[in-house]
Amino acid sequence: MTMESQRNAAPLTHIAEPPGVAPGTGYTQVVTASGRLVAVSGQVAFDEERRLVGVGDPKAQARQVFENLRRCLAAAGADFSHVVKLTYFVTDMADMPAVREARDEALGDLPLPASSAVQVAALFLPEVLMEIEAFAVVPE
């Protein structure tokens, strides 16, 4: 995280193990924050020209999705340090290790946000393997 994003980061509180709830692996159970909400629609692995990146390659698609999320967050004055929740829609749960790897590359050493992962029968194009949405909170 850059010094600028640290200075502008919303005060997030990560509660990994709420009393009476089993700890999660690879996510935080609860994240609280106050500030301006940023909701990023589900992103897929399209490049700027609406060409699908990484046909048949979950790792390449996940990296492009996180790049698209980064760009969307930046357009709202946010970055991954502001993300409180990620929701993953994947056509095959076997692709989640590639998604987590891309997430870890994008977030670096930031605390993990709250997350949900859902396997879906299909997305809007058969070649699209995943769609990921984000919720962030930035300081007022």
- For 42-78, how does the pLDDT look when each residue is reduced to its tens digit (9 = 90+)? 999 999 999 999 999 999 999 999 999 999 999 999 9
Q: What is the pLDDT of residues 8-17, one digit of tens each?
A: 555 899 999 8
- Kindly indicate the confidence band of residue 24, based on its pLDDT and cuts at 50, 70 and 90: confident
Transcribe 34-69 into DSSP letters. -SEEEEEEEE-SB-TTSPBSSTT-HHHHHHHHHHHH
Residues 63-121: pLDDT tens digits? 999 999 999 999 999 999 999 999 999 999 999 999 999 999 999 999 999 999 999 99
- Give how many domains the chain has, as a whole number: 1
Query: Pick the residue with more confidence: 5 or 13?
Result: 13
Burial class (CB in 10 A: 0-12, 13-18, 19+), 74: exposed
Q: What is the CATH number of the domain that holds 101?
A: 3.30.1330.40
Please tell me the predicted confidence (pLDDT) of residue 10: 57
Q: Which 8-state DSSP code applies to residue 124? A: S
Would you say residue 39 has pLDDT above 50?
Answer: yes
Domain range for 129 is 3-138
pLDDT at 27 over 50: yes
Tokens linked to 43: 């992103």
Q: Residue 1: pLDDT above 80? A: no
**What pLDDT, on a 0 to 100 scale, did the predictor assign at position 3?**
37
